[in-house]
A and B are shown apart, each in its own frame.
Chain A
């Protein structure tokens, strides 16, 4: 049982770092926003592993639905949704 929890901890940590790097490095804006939403889901898994159900429910509701929508509705005015620097 301790080995399974150890493997889950390592897995969640590696996913967190990978998605954050992908969100920062990518060239298109829409890709960054989608990776931010997936990073929020990995953070919910980390909160559930650290025995915090209140915080996990709050982050799931706020990080997945509201923040992603607010970001996407701000880049609608650009000529292509992949316009970026």
Chain B
């Protein structure tokens, strides 16, 4: 009875929602690319829908050659997340920190861990091979966040997944979490210290005050790789602590 009422309500609400959205955004077609016809002379695409002539003078950023661009990072999503909207990233780190503190307050009581059962021979052997590979891949992903897709958040999560693999493979494995918590605190504090240095050196909080080098080098784009390394370490140690807390067995009263 409840399911039938819920299904009718969802169908009715869905029809209203889809009809309302389809008036402003087309639901099955995407926009076409705008190609200027008189700019630079380098475009040979012919998929022209709207021709425009305001794009005559734009600066072409060439990978490996351009020096001192505005952001300097080859990954545009990174330059949006860390350079132009760095304050939103600070807010996201705060929300993740709140969730980790909440989990640790509510679940960290008894300290006894219950494992998921005995692991077989294949898991033990494979974990010994896979753990260093996953760790190095995670570190690679967050140090090269301004050149290749990825960044601090998937890199840190991959580090936490590699420690989870060690927990699952061996029954008597326990991590000492003191070093992780120190690393997390230091990384978060350094983020705010770098922002304050930007405030003192120039105009605004989290300003990019280091020189942005050649686009495409490893040491380029100012403070962007430094902040992504800090975010990667902080997120990795935080999620490791959360996973270790979720495995504790609670005391039934």
Contacts and interface: CB of A to CB of B under 8 A. Distances in A.
B149 A53 contact: yes
Contact of A54 (B150, B239, B246): B150
Interface string B209-249: 00000000000000000000000000000010001001100
Contacts, number: 44
Of the four ranges (under 10, 10 to 19, 20 to 34, 35 or more), the interface on chain B belongs to: 20 to 34
A60 B157 CA distance: 10
Contacts of B243: 66, 69-70
A66 B160 contact: yes
Nearest to A74: B246
Interface string B146-183: 00011101100110110010000000000000000000
A76 B114 CA distance: 10
A54 B149 contact: yes
Given A66-B243, A73-B247, A57 B150 contact: yes
Nearest to B167: A69
Interface in B110-152: 114, 116, 141, 149-151
5 contacts: A61-B154, A66-B164, A66-B239, A66-B243, A70-B243
